[in-house]
Structure 1
Amino acid sequence: MKTIQKIKFLSFLLLGLIVSSCVQDDDFQTPNVSYEEPNIDEDQIIDVTAAIAYYGGYEPVQITAGEDADEPVYLEGYVVSSDESGNFYKTLIIQDKPENPTAGIAISTEANDLYTSYEPGRKIYLRVDGLYSGEYANLPTIGVQDDDEVGRIGEIDFYNRIERTGIVEELVPSLVTIGNLGNAPLNTLIKLEGVQFPEELNGASYGNVDNTYTENRTVENCEEEQTIIRNSGYSDFKSKLLPTGNGTLVAVLSIYNNDTQLFIRDEDDVMFDGERCSDEPVNPTEPGLVEPPFNEDFEGGTAYENIDLEGWSNINVNGGENLFQFRSFGSNMYAQTSGYNSDEDPYETWLVTPGVDLSSVSSATLSFETKDGYYNGTALTAFISTDFDGDVTAANWTEITGVTYSTGNTDGYGDSFVPSGDVDLSAYAGQTVYIAFRYLGADGGITTTYQIDNVSLTAN
């Protein structure tokens, strides 16, 4: 069995990598650093996957500059950690992309107060030639050589190596389940839905109130699968009580030997304000009726919560946890879903409007807008039905033709939403119609992200 080399920390840090350990010196001052946009050649850049690949097990491996020893090598990534609350200590966590990341790595450093310049979403470059790639208790980490281990990059050396760009992207946590945490890339931002703290933790705080030891808190889903979040005894939220509801958890995925661990940036990453697990169905079974004009811009929702608008149906055909969600960018809210990290094959979910009563109109027009991201295949289709009663598999659906969808944005998202065009629904005059948006993809297959906005059905 391979011997995993561990990062050398102070003795009281042996229980975890990313924990706070000592009160910062009041006299500490971050070096005066002036920032300019980096001017780095593409051939000098490596991604996170390449940096991790230097390590082959056993002792950490030095990252070299290739044939030209004077040629710098820069690691590119997006910051996902924050030490502002004290739950991360002398560590900067980066992942390779702001959404759908494939790899992440921990940068071990002697520098503090990193959040002041390297906040979540900030794109950075780190000059890594001469540094070492290794693991700490199975966690991919980069630092300096310290005998046969990986140590912290000195503060001055760290600031000399790191390049801060002016780019700050919106980080989109990867949606995972407790059951498939082991398949998600470490050191990346993840999201769990439908989770809560066990009932026996009611009245407990995030951390130890009376001392500075790190504390594990169990998180569970409605199937009673469990994992832990690890909270530092130096965090500024350690005395706050754990929320008692059910909801969404955003965290940085970590590991200690064979134990999965989650680290939150602060208590705002824990959004447990919903009802606790129950046997009540999530989706409505008798959608209500509305009259035209019908318009929905999704502005009434809360980001990262499942779409639950009155009269709408949000249905995962296979009974999985993943559904259409409210999402936002800037001031705009919309509906979004993706098969990425769904752990479902196929991943099929339907978002269905309330029934629109066309009994008193002679003609009607449908329109909506879409945007795609990280496109690797078509997964979104619009349908219409006149007999939907809550069960999408029992209704008769007709594909809506003549629609324009956003497509082909393989490296991110399009600059703007794409109008569908006006779709004539005059053939359905005198009836009640339901408009459905079906996403059909698969984790490991088509995982294109789709966003939907400004659904409108008007009478003429």
Structure 2
Amino acid sequence: MKNLSNLYRALLPMVVMALLFSACKKDDPLGPTIPEGPEVEVTHTLKQLKEIYTKAGSPAMYDIEEEIVVGGQVISSDENGNIYKEIYIQDESTGIIVRLDKSELYKSYAIGQMVYVKAEGMQMGSYGGMIQLGGVYNGEFGRLDADLIADHIIAGKQEEAVMPMAIDLDALPSDLDDHLATWVKVENVMFSEEDYEKTWVDADASSSQNRTLTNANGETIIVRTSNFATFGADALPQGSGSVSGILSSFNGTLQLYVNEAADAALEGDRFDDPNAVAPPAGTGTLADPFNIGAARVNQDADEMKWVMGYIVGSFTGSSPDTFQPGVAGDNASASNMAIADNPNETNPDKIFPVQLPSGSAARQDLNLKDNADMLNQQVWLYGSLEKYFGLAGIKEVEKYSVDGENEVSAPKYQGQLDDIMGTDLTATSIDFKVFNVVEAESYWSASSGSAYVNGYGKGAHESWMISATTIDIAALTDPVLAVTEELNYFKGLDKVMVLGSTDYTGTGDPSVATWTELTVKGDRAEGGQSMTQFELEANTYVAFKYTNTDNDDASSWSVITVEAKEYEEDNGGGTEPTPDPDGNLVLNGGFENWDSDTYPSSWSKVQNIEKESSIVKFGSFSAKHTGGRKDLGQTVDVEAGETYEISFWYFVDPDNNDGTDVRIWGAFQGTDGTLDNGHVKGDGTEDMTASAPGSYLNSNPGNWMEFKQTYVAPAEANKFYLEVRTYSNAIAYWDGFSIKKVEN
């Protein structure tokens, strides 16, 4: 018995130790393995490590070749899915992201735990301006391979969680960069009026999403949440208070990452959201401009209005989700920008997109790519209120103001201007000089194989395009000047005159010479594209004189080809088309007949059209239409009170569209023009009194779509003007146009 008792006494301590060890294991079977604290000598602070990278020029990937050891406490957790394959650590100087190719890192590196990084042999890079530690993936900076983690990452002692630094959005710290990748608490905020009724992430989200926190003064910060977050479907807290999280930045825009939904302690009463779009106000004048709310509800492409807002960013693509708030310089766009009621707006639902037309003063002076200092600038813009990038917006901006009093518009030109070479036109060997008699914004210029001038919205004009020499007709027996031209918004032949002079000196002001209107042999079309032959005498300078006094008499004039040649009897004025025997009033509605590769027969208004043989619905050809608010139109005879079926097919290019691509823009007309109750516009279903539609045809890019609607011709109607428009950067294909009377 004595020996057995001695055995019990010997075994007892081992049993107790085993029980204690077992009890410890049961307390947290999945908890992190926490060592007592290895003896590791730290050589650099995290800030010093970051400085090594920036002093090296912030390369895409920097190899750490010296012996560097850093340490910090873990402030992130991937347990709830909002952080993925990375940990954030911070020391007393700053924080940093450590990218590791391993999941469930919270089991090895708990919040508050000390972690040491042997950085030699690792790499550094950055994303969106955030400096990161990691490894190499496919020859580029990426995550540290899982097999290498044990060689570089050392788990240390568990400490208390880092206390967050309080952040006041009204008074951000001067050393804000040092607080990136650290644990902070943003105080006195709530989720914005636009977001607070949402969930953390939309149910159908395929990537991380932003929600906006705002304070009472309108200062904001984004809360970014992964679509893999376990709390993504939870409703956002709707009150006010504070949100703790990891402070981040993407290209200068502050962001916050929470570890779990409980990090948002928003239980106080909501305050008024100063970032909410204000109620509509203003009348659209410079003295009383529309605000964003008013501009949204007064979309009318036929009206030019003033809108006031703050420049807050631009779009890098052709859709709303490419909006880049707060970005200026090389990463911004030069062709567009966004304005908002609030100078610090980041929410894409509260912005107003702005098209900056090529050559405009607004584009030259306001675009954020070339004028980074204009970010947050208050501006007044005068343009056409219509959708842009699928949002209510403003296009064709003609002038602007930065003080609400002084207007800035495109520069004006007078006197001798840049010459136009015959090679700038199509099939032309005659060179031209350009002269503006009066100071004006527009003048004759050449591009895409034609010379062009349009004074609409730009005041009075008298712009001349004059042959550089007299026209040589010595070898011709019946000489004519054959001119292929395109006239749109036609206001009279006296506004677009083709003249000849025998006493012009070849330089200087042409208006001091004697000019005679050249006689037309045949007919000259009063709209669309056509070829006209003018009688031509020896030793004659020829000139194209464009005039207008205001918008009401401003035509658009393009000269495509000018050549001296023998008169051809059949070419002047074209031929009368034959009506379709099946009752279709549209002539050449299937585009099987073409006067040239850019002009379908029988159509009166033709802009940016090309013959297309690959993407076709019927027959051999369709009409390819490149956008930019360009039109294709034809007028047919109708009878008042009769019912007509209008139909056609269209195809929107899948790689060139933005959701506001194509519209029908037709109208029943009487003897005095368009009837007030005769509009057929937008998607074709709006009230016929709507002269400015808000709708577009359903694009469904990459597929042929059919438009088919019936309409009753109003009293006094005798014609229907059929027009379709292609907008912005879209490319559309048209085929199978038909207008038929429906027999009662």
TM-score w.r.t. the length of structure 2 is: 0.30
Q: Name which one, 1 or 2, has greater alpha-carbon Rg.
A: 2
TM-score w.r.t. the length of structure 1 is: 0.48
Q: More strand per residue: 1 or 2?
A: 2
